[in-house]
Amino acid sequence: MLLMLPLIDSANPWLLGVGLNAILLGLVWIAPKKLLTPSGIFHAWLLGVLIWGTLGWPGYLVVAFYFLVGSGVTRIGLAQKEAAGIAEKRSGARGPENVWGSALTAALCALGVGVINSGLLKAIPQSLVPSLQSLLLLGYVASFSTKLSDTSASEVGKAYGKSTFLITTLQPVPRGTEGAVSLEGTLAGVVASIAIAFVGWGVGLIDLLGVVWCVLAALIATNVESVIGATLQTKYTWLTNELVNVLNTLIGVIAAMLIAWLWTSVVT
User: What's the confidence (pLDDT) of residue 163?
Assistant: 86
Give the rounded distance of the alpha carbon of 152 from its chain centre: 11
Contact call for residues 189 and 161 (beta carbons, < 8 A)? no
User: What's the confidence (pLDDT) of residue 95?
Assistant: 86
Residues 6+ apart with CB under 8 A from 111: 50, 54
Say whether 180 sits in a helix, a strand or coil: strand
User: What's the confidence (pLDDT) of residue 1?
Assistant: 41
User: What's the confidence (pLDDT) of residue 4?
Assistant: 46
Contact call for residues 17 and 49 (beta carbons, < 8 A)? yes
Q: What is the mean pLDDT of each run of 10 residues along the chain (268 residues)?
A: 44 86 88 82 94 96 95 80 64 82 96 85 59 93 97 89 88 86 93 98 97 97 92 86 94 96 84
User: What's the confidence (pLDDT) of residue 5?
Assistant: 46
User: What's the confidence (pLDDT) of residue 247?
Assistant: 95
Q: At what angle do helices 96-118 and 129-160 cross, to 10 degrees?
A: 160
* pTM assigned to the model: 0.88
CA dihedral sign of residues 28, 30, 32, 37: positive
User: What's the confidence (pLDDT) of residue 85?
Assistant: 65
Largest CA distance in the chain: 58
